[in-house]
Amino acid sequence: MDNQQKEMSRRSFLKGTALGAVALAGTGVLAGCSTKTEQASGLPEKWDKETDILVVGFGGAGAAAAIAAREAGAEVIVLEKQAVMGGSTAVSGGVYYAAGTSVQKANGIEDSAEKMYEHYMNAGNGFNDPALSRIAADASAANVEKLIALGATFPTPPTVAGAEYHVGSEPIARVHSVVYGELSGGGAYFRVLEDAARNAGAEVLAETEAKELIVDGSKQVVGVKAVSGGTEMFIKARKGVILATGGFTRSEELMRAYSEQAFYCQPLGAPNLTGDGLKMAFALGAAAFNIHEVLGCPGLTLPGKIAATYAFWTFGTAPAILVNNLGQRFVNEFGFYDWKNTELLKQPDKFAYSVFDATARDAAKGMIVSGFSEDLEPEVAEGTVLKADSITELAEKMGVPADLFEASITRWNEDAKAGADRDFGRTLLLSPIETAPFYAFKTFPTMFDNMGGLKINENAQVIDVWGNVISRLYAVGNVAGGVLGEHYPGSGSALNAGMTFGLIAGKHASTLEAVS
């Protein structure tokens, strides 16, 4: 979807949602509205493969589920529809949010699971499940120890990178950077779990896409219909199916139905987040939890280039400001990236301009946007970046009210020179915008993944719209909701939630009596 489409009015979105809801209801996509019960009933005449635990999706959460199931002695098959493994985990920053860890203690950082839980509740603002958030906080330190046992290292001190300052929580350094051999980032974190799952004996079937959950006459989930190489196959799960398919940031259909936030965001991250697990579970009447929230940062995607490398303002690397289409600042540009994304979604037409001058251009070469040229001339020529010799001219090119924009720049310059941001409390890179030429480019809300999804209980079992467990069906990672609420607590929180409930699901499913 291009930028023009993304800037459609809220009224258009709501209209689309209503129409989309009617259409989706007819196909059984909406939770609890399946009219095709025959899809999820009736066993195949022949199973092509059998296993104890069938994991759908091979990212961090799916790998953790496979590890736990193998440790419990269960046979495991993992399905991954992509040729490249890892999903959102592999393209993440590869940092882990945890409290009371040995890494913190070694660096003189005092923390506890209780404080982490309190922060989860502050950030959740009533949109998370306290029981699930408690479990994730309590498990975080043990998860770090497990990662260390599997070969991960944490050579640098943890940092503060979250919503603590925005939601009134105590700022504590909980963000752990994962290294695995010579790897760092999301690739390192996923490789730790991938290697452990494979070494434990999990069978991984790449380019195999799950299409449908299969239930028996007792309404137990006993397998999956999948497609591999164009051939349909049926895989039996004697003990349980664990969905680890991620969110739906690449499905316009589901965004229209469930998340206005996602609809107006440009997608970053994994390209395969089409909501497969959600659709399969919704066909069985699964309930949703906090499904409308997304995790993202102000940024932009550039045609023909790798979107994830073009995220801007994630960590605020350039001395610039953000203004809305009225020419006014609306946020601390160096605040937590997901908080800024949320504030950007509230702005008129849901976009902003990143504004800076020649001094910032020269001081932040290569850091304005990853992939931009140092002099920005190619970007100016193609129209991605606007350039002007005066603030008034820049306002005209941006299409914002010149008087309001000029007032914003004047106020910012006064604050920058005084060393105090009166409006939003920014303390970093307080540089005035006063040296021509002046620059601006459109900046949009983006999304890495969803923060909510299927409703689960403490065992990661999927709950239906009536509050009942869907027998032998589990959901972990970003296909599940509950741990994270209105605001993302901090970098690495999704990885901790995925690993925590992946381990829980794999272990719990392995204790079930096998179906014949």
Q: What is the pLDDT of residues 141-193, one digit of tens each?
A: 999 999 999 999 999 999 999 999 999 999 999 999 999 999 999 999 999 99
Where do the structural domains in the chain lie, given as residue ranges?
Answer: 3-87+190-295+450-510, 90-182, 298-447
Tell me whether the omega of the peptide bond preceding residue 437 falls within 30 degrees of 0, making it cis: yes
What integer pLDDT is reported at residue 4 of this predicted model?
45
Percent of the chain with pLDDT over 70: 89
Does position 300 have pLDDT exceeding 70, yes or no?
A: yes
Asked if the model's pLDDT at residue 257 lies above 50, the reply is yes
Overall average pLDDT of the 496-511 stretch: 98
| pLDDT for residue 34 | 40
Ordered DSSP codes for 298-343: EE---TTS-GGGG--SSS--SS-EEEETTS-B-S-TTS-HHHHHHH
Residues 6 or more apart whose CB falls under 8 angstroms from that of 23 comprise none
Contact yes or no for 306/352 (Cβ under 8 A): no
- Mean pLDDT across the stretch 346-373? 88
Q: Higher confidence at residue 368 or residue 277?
A: 277
Tell me how far apart the alpha carbons of residues 101 and 242 are, in angstroms, rounded to a whole number.
Answer: 28
Q: Is the pLDDT of residue 338 over 60?
A: yes
CA atoms in the 13 A half-sphere facing the CB of 396:
6
Alpha-carbon distances, residue 384 vs 381, 443, 493 (angstroms): 8, 10, 33
pLDDT reading at 291 higher than 60: yes
Cα–Cα dist 268/250, whole Å: 9
- What is the pLDDT at residue 332? 94
Q: Does position 69 have pLDDT exceeding 70, yes or no? A: yes
Percentage of residues of the chain with pLDDT beyond 90: 83
Is 60 exceeded by the pLDDT of residue 9? Answer: no
Residue 102 has pLDDT above 70, yes or no: yes
- Both tokens of 78, joined, read 């993992």
Q: How high is the pLDDT of residue 371?
A: 77
Q: Which residues, listed in sequence order, are joined to residue 295 by a DSSP beta bridge? A: 449
CA distance 266 to 483: 24
For 89, residues 6+ apart whose C-beta sits below 8 A from its C-beta are 59, 60, 61, 186, 189, 190, 193, 495, 498
Q: Give 365's pLDDT tier (boundaries 50, 70, 90).
A: confident
Q: What pLDDT is recorded for position 305?
A: 60
Backbone angles phi, psi at 340, to 5 degrees: -65, -40
Tell whether domain 298-447 is in CATH 3.90.700.10. yes
- Would you state the pLDDT for residue 315? 57
CATH fold, domain 3-87+190-295+450-510, is FAD/NAD(P)-binding domain (3.50.50)
pLDDT band at 122 (very low <50, low <70, confident <90, very high): very high
Q: Residue 22 belongs to what H/E stretch?
A: helix 10-27
Instruction: Give 417's Cβ-side CA count (13 Å radius).
Output: 8
Q: In this model, does residue 415 exceed pLDDT 70?
A: yes
**Burial (0-12, 13-18, 19+ Cβ within 10 Å), 36:** exposed
pLDDT for residue 58 is more than 80: yes
Encode pLDDT of 388-401 as tens digits: 999 999 999 999 99
Look at residue 140 in the predicted model and tell me its pLDDT. 98
The average pLDDT across 492-505 equals 98
Mean pLDDT of 91-105: 96
- The residue written with tokens 């605040």 in the block is 335
Confidence of residue 30 (pLDDT cuts 50, 70, 90): very low
Quote the CA–CA distance of 482 and 457 in Å, as a whole number: 9
Query: 188 CB contacts (<8 Å, ≥6 apart)?
Result: 94, 152, 178, 179, 180, 181
Mean pLDDT across 404-430: 96
Would you give the DSSP letter of residue 425?
-
Q: What's the CA gap between 464 and 64, in Å, rounded?
A: 24
Q: How confident is the model at residue 50 (pLDDT cuts 50, 70, 90)?
A: very high
Query: Any idea which of 28-37, 210-219, 323-332, 469-478 has the lowest mean pLDDT?
Result: 28-37
Angle (CA) 289 291 296, round 5°: 135
Determine the average pLDDT of the residues in 382-388. Answer: 95
The predicted model scores a pTM of 0.90
Q: Which of 124-133, 147-156, 240-249, 362-371 has the lowest mean pLDDT?
A: 362-371
Query: Which of 208, 188, 192 is CA-nearest to residue 200?
Result: 192
User: What average pLDDT does the chain have?
Assistant: 90
pLDDT value at 499 more than 80: yes
Over the stretch 431-476, which tens digit does the pLDDT of each residue have? 999 999 999 999 999 999 999 999 999 999 999 999 999 999 999 9
pLDDT at 363 over 90: no
